[in-house]
Amino acid sequence: MTSNRTTSLTGWTVGVIGLGLMGKPMARNLHRAGATVVVHNRSRGVVDELAGEGMVAAAGPADVAARAETVILMLPDTPAVAHVLLGDGGVISGVGPDHLIIDMGTTAVTETREFAAAVEAKGGAYVDAPVSGGTIGAEGGTLNIMAGGGEAAVARGEPLFAVLGKSVVHVGAVGAGQVAKAANQVIVGLTIGAVAEALTLARRAGVDPARVRQALRGGFADSRILEVPRAHRQGAGR
């Protein structure tokens, strides 16, 4: 599926938990598309900021689930997802048969399947949909989204994915998205290392690394790592 930049989310209510480098611009894109966006974050400042832009501030994860049947998690790691989803006052306490929980962060595969089982036991649906594209992609709505989950659950999320990303691939069952993201991380990590070594070689040989980078662009050695300046690469593995 490719992104539909004209997608309207008017009439949707979507919860977003985790408003960091990635989650904050994602929430803004959903809001711009017409959705009522219910937001929560561990630190309150960003919640107040987005509430000032017209979003709805929630008291906690359970309150997000009470207000929105579709909840996006954009959290930094697996323990954070476990706490927000299953902890005291967590999302799970408000999950019912109409809920769709979408984890768009990078989360361990085994735990992802356990989280899905907990949501499904309450009648809800769960999709793991980690992303690649960094903050630039989050801001521009051009993320690459790797989705794992049942056909119906992924289909329910497609209008949201069309706003947030430029492409979506349904990789397989729950957990498959996180497997694809792990493969992405391997490639990105090795590429960053290779680019660093190559430009260090250039510098030590007395050649301007910036000009070497320019010379490599467009050739067989080109990559997103060479394309995106380091200062704009925050969250590139996310």
The pTM of the full predicted model, rounded to 2 decimals, is 0.89
Of 24, 122, 166, 181, which residue is the catalytic one?
A: 181
Residue extents of the structural domains in the chain: 13-180
CATH number belonging to domain 13-180: 3.40.50.720
CB 146 within 8 A of CB 137: no
Q: Which amino acid is at 219?
A: G
Q: Which pLDDT does position 97 carry in this prediction?
A: 95
Q: Which pLDDT does position 229 carry in this prediction?
A: 62
Category of 181 on φ-ψ map: left (φ > 0), alpha (ψ -120 to 50) or beta: alpha
CA angle 91-36-31, nearest 5°? 110
Closest CA relative to residue 102, chosen from 115, 111, 89: 115
Q: Which pLDDT does position 72 carry in this prediction?
A: 98
What is the three-state SS of 8-28? CCCCCEEEEECCCCCHHHHHH
- Asked if 24 is an active-site residue, the reply is no
Q: Which pLDDT does position 181 carry in this prediction?
A: 97
Hey, what are 73's tokens?
A: 């998690």
pLDDT averaged over 10-residue windows placed end to end, the chain, 238 residues: 67 98 98 98 96 98 98 98 97 96 98 98 98 95 97 98 97 98 94 94 96 93 80 46
